[in-house]
Chain A
Amino acid sequence: MTYAYDLQRDLASPPGHVWRALTEAELLSRWFMACDQDLDTLPIGGTFTLTDPDAKGWSGILDGHLLERNAPDRLVYRTDERDGSSSTTLTWTLTATEHGTRLQLHHAGWEGLRGFMTAQFLRMGWRSLIAKNLTELLHTIDR
């Protein structure tokens, strides 16, 4: 059984700018994780590495595989944690809005108990940034 979570944020910039921030190595390293390839020019199927030196609770190194790219609307890649503990897929979707861009992330492929918790907590935390009904939530694990 695998789990997914979704994040969404409305940004006051046009999709072209958001696309650059999601694909250019130099820009990615300034907000997301250090990236060794430009994802806007990397061939589909190509590989890259994302690193987070401040990672807590995981290795901080992701081996990326570019799966799909449709500028400036959609970017899909798989990330395998270097220590083998997870393999998940990130789907970024950009939609032009009146004031800028709606950015959505679908992060799928979380496995097992840790995956469930991660997905649930992120979904829940995203709404309130505060844990609510945690006891009740945990009672639903693996049922």
Chain B
Amino acid sequence: MDVFTALADPTRRALLAKLQDEGECDVGELVAAHEVSQPAISRHLRVLLDAGLVSVRQHGRRRHYRVQPDGLLPLISYLTGFWDQRLTALESVLDGLKEQP
């Protein structure tokens, strides 16, 4: 799943915010913080992992999750590309207006 779809869900954004605040959490801590069932949290974490937005570290029997900032690069390049494209297109529209009488 891509980063756009992954971030479209409010629970997944809340999980990312929690991980950002705490640095690192295991599943139990995330379940306690979000009042969502453990299977649901695990599914969301799987999506975030697939999108490259979090990484996981095995510590004993527990899996610890943390934010993987590089995962956001596609979002950044889309957003910056959006405005760069738009304003470049604006310049060509304006060039067209200049040629009108």
Contacts and interface: CB of A to CB of B under 8 A. Distances in A.
Interface in A1-43: 7, 9, 11-13, 17-18, 20-21, 27, 30-32
Interface string A53-94: 000111000000000000000000000000001000000000
A21 B79 contact: no
Interface size class of B (residues with CB under 8 A): 35 or more
A117 to B, nearest CB: 7
B32 interface: no
Interface string A109-143: 00011100110011011100101001101110111
A114 B13 contact: yes
A113 B97 contact: no
A117 B89 CA distance: 25
A103 B83 CA distance: 13
Contacts of A121: 72, 75-76, 79-80
B86 to A, nearest CB: 6
Contacts, number: 99
A17 B7 CA distance: 38
Contact of B75 (A27, A85, A117): A117
B86 A32 contact: yes
Contacts of B7: 57, 114
Interface size class of A (residues with CB under 8 A): 35 or more
A31 B90 contact: yes
Interface stretch (B16-24, B35-43, B56-64): B16-24
B83 A56 contact: no
A117 B72 contact: yes
Given A126-B80, A134-B73, 17 more contacts: A11-B91, A13-B94, A21-B90, A27-B97, A30-B93, A31-B89, A31-B93, A56-B4, A57-B7, A57-B78, A113-B14, A118-B79, A121-B76, A121-B79, A125-B79, A134-B76, A139-B20
